[in-house]
Every structure is written in structure tokens, then in C-alpha cells.
Amino acid sequence: MKILHTSDWHLGRSLYGKKRYPEFTAFLEWLVQTIETEKIDILLIAGDVFDTSTPSNLAQKLYYQCLSKIAVSHCRHIVIIAGNHDSPSFLCAPQTLLNTLNVYVVGAISDDPADEVIVLNNQQLDAEAIICAIPYLRDKDIRRIESGESIDDKNHKLIEGVRKHYHTVCAIAEQKQQALNTQNKNNTIPIIAMGHLFTAGGQTTQGDGVRELYVGSLAHISGAIFPDAIDYLALGHLHIAQRVGGMDHIRYSGSPIAMGYGEAKQIKKVLIVSFNQKTPQVQALDVPCFQALERISGSLETIQSRIEQLKDAHSNVWLEIEYTGTQLITNLHELLEESLEKSAIEIRCIKNKRTSERILHRIHQHETLDDLNEYEVFERCLDGSNRVSEISSEERLEIIESYHDIINTLHEEDSNAE
């Protein structure tokens, strides 16, 4: 049995306003071909299929076309869980139809944890794998809010809520495993879990869009909380392919394309998991780069020199440029655009550090709200308050954490639910 583990497609995502559908199309075509070439039996998609809870028509079209092609390939089963970017109700809306194609979607936890346990059969209709398809666990699903609780209390409850849910679901899977082993007279049916969360020590990159899922940076989940019954844990959320706590059987596949310039130098992966008895063998398969990205930083001469090198190589790279020279250049955009004449290179963003450096918290004329995220805006407002001198460092931390709590609650609202 061979499984392909992927996640964080973020279909519909743009880069500085540039639509990336050709990249998504190329990746999905490559994925379909890889599944056929590698004779993949089960495809696991560990969340963040779409970049927003209301994906565009084109993003939906790519998704359903991909599923329909895989359904008639060598692959027998597809299991999908929702990530924090996905709308659970949107993903689950066509569930009945998708089940006829052996596509199983779990968007959110239900009153019955058994709904997250899926037994998959081989061509002889014998059980070959038990999937614990655990979606992104929203704050409100796993902890009860109580007045007066501290940040540490919240973090403890969150971690305990995640631990308890995984153990509950995996206990049901173990019961099914024992019954199936008795019927089939073997002990080779693996338990494979899925999840979408942020584990302790996980690697991220600047600008990848990966946000804290829960309030407080302490609420990162240790690999030690997962049940020993899990033979392989397919995780999503972090965009860098990596092991959790050095354990080979707990893995992030990472995103299949670079989601930002911080990921531009990464070699993207999907993971192929082969089972010999119950022992998983994991192979990382490189995903081709479908659109080159490059960040250039330095003086004007350094930037223009690198652009000439790329032009000579007939590159079609998309550039993010940061000018760090000391000279004030007011027509930087025009100079750089002229450098690109008669080339396929595109500049997606120009950052002029000389004019965007912040003095205290003063906003320069070249800085706009687009340069700030919602957390930076709040902290600017907090620091600009007339009462800032009355706020202690401990109170400031609590205020910021409370604000993060509000923002996370807004992110977790399922706009498609009724």
C-alpha cells in the first residue's frame, strides 16, 4: 500500500496581486501524473485546500477537476480534512456526491468522534488502512472559556483539548483495528492519522502566511501528546516539509508551491508513505518549480547587475526587490522597470528601505496600510494611545493577547455555515 501525503495547496492565493492559477494548474497536473506513475493507492490532503473560505470559481474548478481525474486513476481513495483557511461547510457540501468517487471529506468535528474514523478497503474489499481524519480543531471546539483565566490557563486547556480529541478518535480506531485483525487474522492494518495544527519547534519562513492558530505562542503542540497507536501522522499547516520532534512517522509535507518569497529557495515536497506490515517507509518526492521567485536586496548597482544576469539567462522569474542603498532615489520604480525591457521578468514588489525605515512609530508618506498587518496596526494604535504611559508591560501583553484572541475568532467563523 502506497500513500501520498500533501497539504496546504492554498488554491486561489495571489502574490502581490498576481493571480497564480497557471502554477496551481501545473502542480495539479503533475500530481495526477505522479499518482499514476508511483501507483499511489491513497491520497491524503491535510488541510488548507483553498486560500480563503469563499474560493473563486476557477479555484473550485481546478479542485474538482483534479479530484475527478484522480478518482479514475490507480488511486482508490482520497481523504481530505479542512484546514484553518478552509470553510468546513463549503468543503463538506458535496460530500455525498464525492463519496461515490471514494473521496472522503471531514470539515469539522461532530458530536460523534467516530465520524472521523474511516476504514479503507483494498480491491479485494479487505480493510487495508484506518484513517483518523481529524480536521483543524477550532478553539471553541476544544476548550471552554471561563472568566478570569490567564493566558497560561488558556494554553493548557487548548493543548489538553487537542490531546484529548486525538486520543478519543484513535481509541475508536484501535477498537476497529482489533475487530478487523480478528476477522482477517492478521495484524497489519495501520492506523494513519491526519491533522492541521502548529507543533512545537515547527519551522516557518517570513511572509509565508502561516499564522498562530491559537492565542499565545505557548500553545504549540508537542509530538508527545499524540497516541502511540498512530503508525503515521500526516500533518498540514506548516509550509516547510519537516519531521516533528525528529520522529519519522510524524510529518509535515509542506506546501507544494512557494507561498511567498521567504519560501522561494525551498525545494517543495510531497511525501510517499509505503507500508511493509505496519512500519511506514517515507520518501520525499521533489515537486518541480512551476514559477521561479527571487528576492534581490542591495544597492541599485547590485540589483541592476542581478537583473542583467537573469535577462542573459532568459529567465521569467518574478522578483521582490529591496533597495538598501544609502542614496535617496525618488524614481527607483522607473529605473528598475526600464531595466526589464525586452525580458519576461516581472517585478512583483519594490521595497525602498531608504524611505520606509520607521523613526519610532511615525508613518512615512511612502508607507501605507498595505505594508502593515492587522496586528501591527493594533500595536501602532496601542502605542499612540494617550494612556500608553499608564499601561504596564504585563497589561500590554494581556491586551495584545486579547486582541489576537478576537482576530482568531473572526478567522475561525465559517461564513458558509447556516
Delimit the domains of the chain by residue range: 2-286, 293-357
Task: Please report which residue ranges of 264-365 form alpha helices under DSSP H.
Answer: 300-312, 332-339, 353-356
Judged on CB neighbours under 10 Å (0-12, 13-18, 19+), 238 is: buried
pLDDT at 217: 44
DSSP tag of 154: H
Q: Are 230 and 169 contacting, i.e. CB atoms less than 8 angstroms apart?
A: no
Judged on CB neighbours under 10 Å (0-12, 13-18, 19+), 256 is: buried
pLDDT at 359: 35
pLDDT at 207: 57
pLDDT at 216: 44
pLDDT at 373: 66
pLDDT at 395: 76
pLDDT at 407: 72
Architecture label for domain 2-286: 4-Layer Sandwich (3.60)
pLDDT at 358: 42
Residues with Cβ within 8 Å of 34's Cβ and at least 6 positions away in sequence, in order, are 4, 40, 270, 285
Residue ranges of the chain whose pLDDT lies below 50: 214-218, 358-366, 418
Rounded CA-CA distance 169/194 in Å is: 11
pLDDT at 43: 98
**Identical fold between 2-286 and 293-357:** no
pLDDT at 215: 43
pLDDT at 201: 74
Rounded CA-CA distance 372/378 in Å is: 10
DSSP tag of 284: E
pLDDT at 329: 82
pLDDT at 354: 60
Helix (H, G, I), strand (E, B) or coil at 310: helix
Rounded CA-CA distance 52/279 in Å is: 36
Q: Are 318 and 343 contacting, i.e. CB atoms less than 8 angstroms apart?
A: no
Architecture label for domain 293-357: 2-Layer Sandwich (3.30)
How far out from the chain centre does Cα 104 lie? Answer: 19
Question: Nearest to residue 315, comparing CAs of 283, 344, 338?
Answer: 344
The DSSP bridge partners found for residue 319 are 294, 347
pLDDT at 379: 76
Q: Are 135 and 108 contacting, i.e. CB atoms less than 8 angstroms apart?
A: yes
